Amino acid sequence: MNQQSPISKTQNLSQGYIGKSVPRREDARLLDGAGQFIDNMKLPNMTYSAVLRSPYAHARLLSINTEEALSLKGIVGILTGEDLKGKVGLIRPNWIAGQDIQIPDHPVLAFDKVNYTGDAVAFIVGESREAVQDALEMIEVEYEVLDPIIDEEEAFQEGAVQIHEGIKNNRAGKPLMAWGDYRKAAEEADQIVSLKLINNRLIPSAMEPRVLLASFDKYSEKLEMYIPSQVPHLHRRWISDTLGWPEHKIHLKVPDIGGGFGAKMHLYVEEILVAYAAKHFGCPIKWTETRSESHLSTHHGRAHTQYIDLAIKNDGTVLGLKLKLFANMGAYLSNMATGVPSVNCTYFANGNYNIPNYFAQTNLIFTNTVPVDAYRGAGRPEATYLIERSMDKVAEVLGMDPLEVRRKNVIQKFPHNFYDSGSFLKCMEEAKSSFKYEEKRELQAQAREEGRYLGIGIINYTESCGMAPSTVLGNLGFDRGGYESAEIKVHPDGKVTLFTGSTPQGHGHHTSFAQIVASELQIPMEDVEVITGDTEAVPVGVGTYNSRSMAVGGSAAKICAGKVIEKAKKYAALKLRCKEESVLYQEGHFFTEENEKRIPFAKIARMAAVPHHKPEDVTPGLDQLYTHDPISMSSPNGSHAAFVEVDIETGKIEILEYLAVDDAGNLINPMLAEGQIHGGIAQGIGQALYENTVYSEDGQLLSGSLLDYAVPKADQLPSFKTDFLYTPTQTNPLGAKGIGEAGTIAAPPALVSAVCDALKPFGIDHIDMPLTPPKIWKAIQSASQDKGGAS
Residues that bind another protein (CB under 8 A): 23-24, 26-35, 37, 39-40, 129-130, 205-209, 256-259, 261, 290-292, 505-508, 671-672, 674-675, 678-683, 705-707, 711, 713-717, 719-720, 743
Which of ligand FES, another protein, none is residue 596 near (CB under 5 to 8 Å by kind)?
Answer: none
- The distance of closest approach from Cβ of residue 777 to another protein in the complex, given in angstroms and rounded to an integer, is 23
CA distance 706 to 461: 30
Q: Burial, 402: exposed, middle or buried (Cβ in 10 Å; 0-12, 13-18, 19+)?
A: buried
Task: State which residue, 142 or 654, has the beta carbon closest to another protein.
Answer: 654
Going from the C-alpha of 150 to that of each of 116, 147, 329, 371, 483, the distances in angstroms are 9, 10, 11, 12, 38
Least distance between another protein and beta carbon 145 (Å): 27
**Minimum distance of another protein from residue 148's CB (angstroms):** 25
Q: Specify the residue, 623 or 674, whose C-beta has the smaller distance to another protein.
A: 674
- Comparing CB distances to ligand FES, the nearer of 84 and 257 is 257
Pairing of strands 496-500, 528-532: parallel
Nearest approach, Cβ of 715 to another protein (angstroms)? 4
* Partner in contact with 359, chosen from another protein, ligand FES, none, beta carbon below 5 to 8 Å by kind: none
Could you say which of ligand FES, another protein, none residue 34 binds, taking C-beta under 5 to 8 angstroms by partner kind? another protein
Q: Which of the choices another protein, ligand FES, none does residue 261 contact, using the CB cut-off of 5 to 8 A by kind?
A: another protein
Q: How far is the CA of 325 from the CAs of 361, 362, 476, 706, in angstroms? A: 6, 5, 19, 30
CB of 236 to another protein, least distance (A): 22
- Pairing, β 599-600 against β 589-591: antiparallel
Q: Among ligand FES, another protein, none, what binds residue 243 when CB lies within 5 to 8 Å by partner kind?
A: none
Please choose, from the candidates 474, 477, 467, the residue with its C-alpha nearest in 3D space to the C-alpha of residue 548.
Answer: 467
| Nearest to ligand FES of 600, 712 (CB atom) | 712
Where does this chain bind ligand FES (CB under 6 A)?
207, 258-259, 506
Find the residue with minimal CB distance to ligand FES. 207
Cα 650 to chain centroid distance, Å, stands at: 35
621 touches, from ligand FES, another protein, none (C-beta below 5 to 8 Å by class): none
- Of 214, 232, 262, 212, nearest in space to 371 by CA: 262
- Partner whose footprint covers residue 678, from another protein, ligand FES, none (CB < 5 to 8 Å by kind): another protein
The dihedral built from the CA positions of residue 705, 293, 695 and 173, taken in this order, carries a sign that is: negative
- Between 616 and 707, name the residue whose CB sits nearer to ligand FES: 707
53, HSE (Cβ side, Cα atoms, 13 Å): 25
Residue 476 interacts with, from ligand FES, another protein, none (CB under 5-8 Å by kind): none
CB of 506 to ligand FES, least distance (A): 5
Q: How near is the Cβ of 280 to ligand FES at its closest, in Å?
A: 32
Cβ proximity to ligand FES, 21 vs 446, nearer residue = 21
- Own/partner pairs for 10-13, CB < 8 Å, 24+ apart? 10/726, 11/666, 11/667, 11/670, 11/724, 11/726, 12/726, 13/666
Nearest to ligand FES of 506, 554 (CB atom): 506
Apex CA 102: angle with CA 96 and CA 107, to 5°? 90
Which among another protein, ligand FES, none contacts residue 209 (Cβ within 5 to 8 A by kind)?
Answer: another protein
Helices (H), 399-491: 402-409, 424-434, 437-449, 470-475
φ/ψ of residue 394, rounded to 5: -60, -45
Cβ 504 to another protein, closest distance in Å? 9
Least distance (Å) between residue 206 CB and ligand FES: 7
Measured in degrees and rounded to the nearest 5, phi and psi for residue 640 equal -115, 145
Judge whether 620 and 608 are in contact, CB under 8 Å. Answer: yes
* Closest C-alpha among 485, 587, 554, 583 to residue 231: 485
What is the three-class DSSP state of 388? helix
The residues, ordered by sequence, that sit 6+ positions from 603 with a Cβ below 8 Å of its Cβ are 494, 575
Can you say how many angstroms the Cα of residue 619 is from the centroid of all Cα atoms in its chain?
Answer: 41
Task: State which residue, 316 or 506, has the beta carbon closest to ligand FES.
Answer: 506
Residue among 469 and 506 whose Cβ is closer to ligand FES = 506
The 8-class DSSP code of residue 95 comes to B
Nearer Cβ to another protein, position 39 or 741? 39
User: 469 preceded by cis ω (within 30°)?
Assistant: yes
The least distance separating ligand FES from the CB of residue 285, rounded to whole angstroms, comes to 23
Cβ-based nearer residue to another protein, 423 or 744: 744
Q: How far is the CB of 203 from another protein (least distance, A)?
A: 11
Residue 773: alpha-carbon gap to chain centroid: 29
Q: Which is nearer to ligand FES, 716 or 784 (CB)?
A: 716
Spatial neighbors of 474 by CB under 8 A, at least 6 apart, are none
Complex with another protein: residue 453 or 658, whichever CB lies closer = 658
Q: Report the distance separating Cα 745 and Cα 737, nearest Å.
A: 15
How many Cα atoms sit within 13 Å of 298 on the Cβ side?
A: 29
Output the smallest distance, CB 207 to ligand FES, in A: 4
Spatial contact of 634 and 732, defined as CB atoms under 8 Å apart:
yes
Query: Which residue(s) pair with 363 in the sheet?
Result: 326
Task: Report the nearest approach of ligand FES to the CB of residue 49 (Å).
Answer: 20
What angle in degrees, to the nearest 10, is found between the helix axes of 555-576 and 601-609?
A: 80
Distance CA 561, CA 543 (A): 20
Residue 586 binds which of ligand FES, another protein, none (CB < 5-8 A, kind-dependent): none
CB of 690 to another protein, least distance (A): 12
397/717 with CB nearer another protein: 717
User: Within 458-550, where are the H helices?
Assistant: 470-475, 509-521
CB 525 to ligand FES: min, Å: 23
Closest to ligand FES by CB, 30 vs 531, is 30
